[in-house]
Amino acid sequence: MPELSGKIAIVTGGSRGIGRAIAHDLAKEGAAVMIASRDPAALEQTVGEIKNARGRAASIALDLRLPETPAKLVKAAIDEFGGLDIVVNNAGATQRGDFLSLTDEQFIDGFALKYYAAVRTTRAAWPHLKARHGSVVNVIGAGGRTPGAHFAIGGSVNAACLAFTKAIAELGIADGVQVNAVNPGPVRTDRQMVWLEEAAKKEGIKLDEVIARTVKNSKITRMGEPEDIAYLVSFIVSKKGSLFQGSLIDMEGGSTKTI
């Protein structure tokens, strides 16, 4: 029997990249998955892929930056599948750039989609997770530990998400809810590949050369794949990962050099 048979999950940012891979793997392991993002077409495609693989999935298109939408997402999952066991807060991309050029609006937007969406979704889901001894996994990012000059927004948002994970994990011990975080490093998502392809075009070199240089300069073992993160998330929320609580797990090929 699959590890997550009978479980019901929400995956935000689930129509592309890491979120899409997580949704696929949770479904493969037996969970019914409610996927959320702002792109109806991409959601429909991902749900169709999961169903074609004999998994259970549904979707809802909404903007998690809006305060009222996380509660709508939780309600949609419960109305569709009858309960909730797993929440994967994966949505959120932040603007990179020169700090002096980044605006207040860009900082606010970064916190709205990644930090506040995770807080509100977790809060809305908490009573249901408590009732079923469920799990929360926050997919955050290695930049929260080692932010760079051009990642001022992302580093700040990610650090706040890491602190939120630790804080809510303490409540999780009292309420029987597992709470953890995963920090990906460079992962071969569509968004990451756009940056790499732009660099290759700008410098007049091959994409493989840019990837190899990125791996070398970052001092990592290799570029990650979305499935790498997905497999870890599925492990954490399974019985095999039940001892994880308040863990901030770096899965980044060795890019985090700090203790």
Indicate if 180 and 192 belong to the same structural domain: no
* Dihedral sign (CA 109, 158, 86, 178): negative
Q: In the predicted model, is pLDDT for residue 192 greater than 90?
A: no
Full domain range(s) for residue 82: 8-187+225-250
Q: Count of domains in the chain?
A: 2
Q: Indicate whether 3 belongs to any domain.
A: no
Provide the sign of the torsion angle of the four alpha carbons 46, 49, 55, 57, taken in this order.
Answer: positive
Does some domain include residue 40?
A: yes
Alpha-carbon torsion angle 109, 142, 77, 32, nearest 10: 150
Domain-embedded: residue 239:
yes
| 3-state secondary structure at position 248 | strand
Token pair, residue 60, equals: 């809802």
Confidence grade of residue 45 (pLDDT, cut at 50, 70, 90): very high
Per-residue tokens: 28? 């493969």
Q: What is the pLDDT of residue 204?
A: 92
Of 20, 87, 140, the residue nearest 76 (C-alpha): 87
Whether residue 236 is found in the same domain as residue 218: no
- 132, 214: one domain: no
Number of Cα atoms under 13 Å in the Cβ half of residue 169: 17
The predicted pLDDT at position 99 comes to: 87
In a domain, 257, yes or no: no
pLDDT tens sequence across 142-161: 988 888 888 889 899 999 99
CATH number, domain of 101, equals 3.40.50.720
For residues 29 and 84, membership in a common domain is answered with yes
Residue 52 pLDDT: 98
Q: pLDDT tens for residues 86-107?
A: 999 999 888 888 888 889 999 9
* Residue 6, pLDDT above cutoff 90: yes
Q: Do 23 and 100 lie in a common domain?
A: yes
